[in-house]
Amino acid sequence: MVEYFFQYRSLKDCVMDYLKQEMESGNLKPGDRINEKEICQKLGVSRTPIREALIQLEREGFVEISPRKSIRVKKLTLKEIEDIYQIIGALESEAAQIACDRLSPEDIAQMEEDYNQMVQALAEDDFKKYMDINLKLHNIHLRLCGNDVLVNIVNQLKKRLYDFPRIMVKIPEWEEKCIEEHRQLIQFFKEKNKAAIKELIKNKHWGFEDNRHFIMIYYDLMNSETKEKDETI
């Protein structure tokens, strides 16, 4: 099985996938040191693909390599979160305006179905399902913008915000705000109101100041949960 896994993919990509899985699961937490020797032994590969993978992960913002060669999982600062929100807001609002004229009635119907499933997921306290459908709904207009580079950047930045580690922290007020914004977004798409779409996505949904309070709560809770997990080990 391991041979099959490595047979059709580069060793660097396999190491990157392994490290991202470890970060997503929380086995490697923000601030944790990455031990190259242990990875070599566990995966049965040389240090070269591991080093290549770590350099790539550093470029993507997931790890940091110090001048003394200490390698750690990178913690997001509040400034970095603000910068990411600004970039996603600008790019996704542009994508949504482009997609506005390309949305079919079936696309709108799918958005409405996704919206209903998000509401139901929250009612059932299924936060993972809520997050997954949230991304699925956004991917409709992202896909239709026709700019693969833009879509890859946006999706990579979203992963950086939420998936490493992917801790499910429920904040009811934030979720209610997001649900209402999705309802409004679908209505604006129906009306083909591009100005309203831009304002909503850029300055509300991905507006840092509009979400600062919730962001502070989310990351404080996330750090608290990580600390509590450490203390039980």
Predicted TM-score (pTM) of this structure? 0.78
Write out pLDDT tens, residues 84-140: 999 999 999 999 999 999 999 999 999 999 999 999 999 998 888 998 999 999 999
Task: Enumerate residues 6+ apart whose C-beta is below 8 A from 72.
Answer: 31, 32, 33, 34, 63, 64, 66
Q: What is the 3 state secondary structure string of 142-173?
A: HHHCCCHHHHHHHHHHHHHHHCCCCCCCCCHH
**Three-state SS at 57:** helix
Residue 165 is predicted with a pLDDT of 61
Which stretches of 30-170 are assigned E, i.e. beta strand? 63-65, 71-73
What type of residue sits at position 180?
E
CATH 1.10.10.10 is the classification of domain 2-73: yes
**Three-state SS at 43:** helix
CATH code: domain 78-232 is 1.20.120.530
Residue 225 is predicted with a pLDDT of 47
Domain limits of the chain?
Answer: 2-73, 78-232
Residue 163 is predicted with a pLDDT of 66
Segment-wise mean pLDDT, segments of 10 residues, the chain, 233 residues = 52 88 82 88 88 89 82 88 96 97 96 97 90 94 96 90 70 93 97 97 96 87 49 39
